Amino acid sequence: MNEHPLFQVDAFTGEAFRGNPAAVVVLDEPADDGWQQAVAAEMNLSETAFLRNVGPASYALRWFTPTVEVELCGHATLAAAHVLWTEGFVDDGAPIRFDTRSGPLVATRHTTGDDGDAVIELDFPANTAVERPAPDGFLAALGLDAGRFAATADGWYLVELPDAGAVRRLTPDFAALAAFPTCVVTAPGDGGSGDAAVVSRVFGPSVGIDEDPVTGSAHCVLATWWAGRLGDAFRAEQASARGGTLDVLLAGERVLLAGRAVTVLRGHLVA
């Protein structure tokens, strides 16, 4: 196996050691699925992104948790785009197209302020959760007696609680929760992170992630869930221990997610 550039990036944050860390591996040829899964397990982050150039500013992109490949991942896509621009793989002003299992995704980079700070905007598919009764045992696994429950066609669970404090205080039983799909628990914002209108936490023990620090794909669900009450554009806080914020815009059947990223590690994968 050739050496491959390897990076670790904290996504949806402007500060190192906050937000959601993702590993990014840049490939020069297709790689074996088992090897990619083994690398993701070795990195032991919520996702590892694998990039392979397929044309000008165009990359094949796959995401693996430590245990499974996933259909869509926001923070690792943001991390991948950040790497491609900051490490010189793609010209700074060029939009990047990603070919993924969720279809084509686009990332654009906007420079703001005198310090040249950059915000990355991701163009993702919207996802809609439909309210229905919660499955037996699910709310109890979250540590809840009640909550407004909904689910998407592709398997996301969502629970809305009346206030952000209830979201922040959650202490799920992760062993019990592993029997259910990944879920996002949300409530109106409480001023804990500036002007965030929405607070959430995301739990995915069934895919090897007890709690994800900041989850872009969850906000594809939250965008459609909250837009009728908050409008199409709002700021969101994910209230994990590391914490992170992103700006959300529902644009028809797409969701634009904007945030920052910080590189914390550069190296090479040699195995």
Q: Which of 3, 15, 42, 47 is catalytic?
A: 47
CA distance 38 to 119: 32
On whether the CB atoms of residues 249 and 3 are closer than 8 A, the answer is no
Residue 140 CB partners (closer than 8 Å, separation 6+): 173, 176
CB atoms within 10 A of CB 205: 20
Residue ranges of the alpha helices (H) in 184-234? 216-230
CA atoms within 13 A on the CB side of 82: 33
- Which residue in the block uniquely carries the two structure tokens 């009346």? 162
Please give the Cα distance from 157 to 141 (Å, whole number): 13
Largest CA-CA distance found in the chain, in angstroms, rounded: 53
Chain centre to alpha carbon of residue 196: 17
Q: What residues contact residue 250 under an 8 Å CB cut-off, 6+ apart?
A: 126, 223, 224, 227, 232, 233
**Measured CA distances, 268 to 7, 22, 36, 94, 98 (Å):** 8, 15, 15, 25, 22
Active site residue 42: no
Q: List the catalytic residues.
A: 47
